[in-house]
Amino acid sequence: MRVALVTGGTRGIGEAISVGLKDAGYKVAANYAGNDERAQAFRERTGISVFKFDVSDPEAVNAGVKAIEAELGPVDVLINNAGITKDGTIHKMGYEQWKHVIETNLGSCFNCCRSVIDGMRARKFGRIVNIGSINGQAGQYGQVNYAAAKSGIHGFTKALAQEGARNNITVNAIAPGYIDTDMVRSVPPNVLEKIVAKIPVGRLGHADEIARGVVFLVSDDAGFITGSTLSINGGQHMY
């Protein structure tokens, strides 16, 4: 049974991915950063093991991955999903607001990949899926930090895909559009209404609709797909 680590795996899109992978037959480790109550409720509801560590801190990630490997075995599948928003126009944005988003959303990809890549190379198998965003592809008013981090994820994915290919390690990205999660629900309602009006399918996405893409990209059937980005956004941005 393959072991999958899902960062930010107890809430929102990450929760759906954790459950989707469990249902597809993986042993899942769901990482979370801070919300103990939600994480424990998730564990009780799903039976999925939870591991608390800060993905923006390289030492914490190494310790967290060690704990996962001791309990479940080597990590074969990594889903870099953890992410935060700290929206604001640049003239109102402080350095901390910039740095926190870059380190959490993009730094985490480096930290987690760095921590599992040696094992994947040695075992000649790995599946990595990085969760980008429509706003990394198209930009978004009030999100220079988030858009830069998510755009960085798309470049990171293509570079690592080239490095991993010979060792049967595929690296892909999914770029979700606006999905019905706590993160999107925190956008001011008048702003969100205008955004939804521009989604051709006429609704927010469901977290499960992202999870199904992840389950496919990590499967053996997807072994020839690497360095790609799967946009799942209801037609809001096409390219």
Please list the active-site residues. 146
In the bound complex, what is the minimum distance in angstroms from residue 142's beta carbon to ligand CAA?
A: 2
Q: Nearer Cβ to ligand CAA, position 41 or 90? A: 90
Q: Using CB under 6 A, list all residues that contact ligand CAA.
A: 85, 87-89, 92, 133-135, 140-143, 146, 176, 178, 183-184, 187-188, 191
In the bound complex, what is the minimum distance in angstroms from residue 49's beta carbon to ligand CAA?
A: 27
Q: Measured between alpha carbons, how far is residue 227 from residues 132, 155, 159, 233 in Å?
A: 13, 9, 8, 19
Q: Which two tokens stand for residue 223?
A: 């072994």
In the bound complex, what is the minimum distance in angstroms from residue 125's beta carbon to ligand CAA?
A: 30
In DSSP terms, 129 is beta-bridged to 79, 172
Q: Nearer Cβ to ligand CAA, position 134 or 169? A: 134
**Cα separation, 164 vs 156, whole angstroms:** 12
**How many Cα atoms sit within 13 Å of 122 on the Cβ side?**
7
Q: Which of 111, 15, 124, 131 is nearest to 63 (CA)?
A: 111
Q: Nearer Cβ to ligand CAA, position 160 or 174? A: 174
